[in-house]
Amino acid sequence: MEKASHKANAQCAEDIGKAINSHFDGFHYHTGFEKELIETYGMERVQYVVACNIQQKLHDGRISKENKTWALQSQMNQGEDNPKLEYTIHTHSGLLDLFANSIREQELTHEAEENMKEGDADEIEETDLDMQL
């Protein structure tokens, strides 16, 4: 199981790097492609791989303080003593920073959607109870 997870993380990193590089035309970074990566690998895996990469670049001024803080606070990376070279996203640090911004926005959107779904479920349960009385 661990070997499959490791392989999936490595493939995720490779695909993230390819996607970032293919959505930057030399002047503009085009967003929106992150959703496909999240659908393919899941939010947690994408976050994990991105946070691992940012944690290896804490000295890099092209990564924002907010993204460095997010990466360091990431529970997914606690106890990861040895950086996994296979998880390296091969792209410019500035583009990695932009991608991390997008992932963090997607995370907030995902959380808001989940909260709304939970709220809808609670309303449905309350309505069902009212009907039973």
Q: Whole-model pTM?
A: 0.79
pLDDT at 131: 46
d(CA 57, CA 30): 23
In whole angstroms, give the CA distance from residue 89 to residue 14: 6
The answer to whether the CB of 77 falls within 8 A of the CB of 49 is no
Neighbours of 45 (CB within 10 A): 19
Q: Which pLDDT score, from 0 to 100, does residue 87 have? A: 94
Q: Tell me, what's the pLDDT at 36? A: 95
- Give the pLDDT score at 92: 96
Question: Quick one: which of 21, 6, 35 has its CA closest to 96?
Answer: 21
Domain boundaries, the chain: 2-132
pLDDT of residue 133: 42
pLDDT value at residue 119: 78
Q: Is 24 helix (H, G, I), strand (E, B) or coil?
A: strand
How many CA within 13 A on the CB side of residue 2? 0
First to last CA, the chain: 49
* The pLDDT value given to residue 132: 47
pLDDT of residue 70: 96
pLDDT of residue 75: 63
Mean pLDDT split into 10-residue runs, the chain, 133 residues: 86 97 94 94 95 95 97 68 80 97 90 83 52 45
What's the pLDDT score for residue 114? Answer: 84
